[in-house]
Amino acid sequence: MIGTIRSVPDPAAIVQEVRHRYGLDLERGTLLRSLANDVYLVHGPDGRYAAKVYRTGTDRERLRWEDELARHAVRHGVPVPTARPTTGGEPVLTLEAPEGPRHVVVLEWVEGTKPAPPFGEDLYRELGDLLARFHAAADTFAPSASRPVEDVDTLVGAAVARVADVLNGPDRALVEDLGARATAALRRRRPSDLGVCHGDVTLDNVLVTDAGLSLHDFDLAGVRWRVSDLTGVAGTEHLGAFLTGYREVRPLPEDDLTSLGWLRAAASLQNLGFHLVDKPAVQGSDSIGEGWADRELETLRELSRVLEA
């Protein structure tokens, strides 16, 4: 058999496995997206579910941690989707694929829609409120297994190392210089609020429901400085409204905001790694020409100009 980097499971096969292992009466399945992982809508008389099939090599214990985090958030009134357990009570199912074992999580389906433009101040204020409630709930999160704290080397150093070897000339010099400056700045003035973060707070990861906003996609959740969850919003014109909503629920130290620019640089470096390394590995090198990597490099150039050492 020829070696396989990444397969895309047949929706009918996913429906069959979920029906059997979860005891659900399901009839149909549709592949919704295939990128970092494969997500399927599976549905039938027993309802609608999102079956998320992770790439080979995904840490099963991390997925258990995410499940515990989501359930803890729901118990504290934060609207997030939770995993349905198998008939054996497990939050994670493992299936054999040509490239090796792949873990599956079956999430309760959330009825809602993506936020639609124009994106106003009220929406970002509500998003700030939602994130603050998530952070407040996570303050008391006591998982069965802890996650490592992500420090400067994790947030910046590892990201620089991943992309430097695939860049040349001025782009490589930009990444290495900005990475060194960000590392020095974050070591010199570390934010004080450390705890569980969502990791990717953007409008792409919320749904508008009848009850308000719902927070989704915990693939990048981890333990790091809380202000790092503001990096996506900081690139918009609505940071002020977001902070108003956040601070109505939970304090955010003003001193921590002075690190936001450097954390934006770290997040952009990580995104650059995704578009230069991860995505081409499964979608081919032509994906680099889609423009996402160029946009991240332009963001890094702008941050390099405006951030003070």
| 151 has a pLDDT exceeding 70 | yes
- Structural domain ending residue among the three candidates 83, 108, 133: 108
Identify the pLDDT of residue 134: 98
Same domain, 97 and 142: no
Domain-embedded: residue 61: yes
Identify the pLDDT of residue 309: 57
Predicted TM-score of the model (pTM): 0.95
Mean pLDDT value across the chain:
96
Identify the pLDDT of residue 190: 93
Rounded Cα gap, residues 107 and 135, in angstroms: 22
Same domain, 193 and 269: yes
Range of the domain at 218: 121-306
CATH number at residue 180: 3.90.1200.10
The secondary element (H helix, E strand) that includes residue 206 is: strand 206-209
| 282 has a pLDDT exceeding 90 | no
CATH number at residue 81: 3.30.200.20
Please give the tally of structural domains in the chain: 2
Rounded Cα gap, residues 82 and 68, in angstroms: 9
The angle formed by the CA atoms of residues 225, 65 and 111, to the nearest 5 degrees, is: 95
The secondary element (H helix, E strand) that includes residue 131 is: helix 121-138
**What 3-state DSSP class applies to 217?**
coil
- Binned at pLDDT 50, 70 and 90, residue 1 comes out as confident
Average pLDDT over residues 275-300: 95
Identify the pLDDT of residue 201: 97
Identify the pLDDT of residue 3: 87
| 129 has a pLDDT exceeding 90 | yes
Same domain, 301 and 227: yes
The two tokens of residue 189 are: 């003035």
**What 3-state DSSP class applies to 94?**
strand
The region that residue 286 occupies, defined by phi over 0 for left and psi between -120 and 50 for alpha, beta otherwise, is: alpha
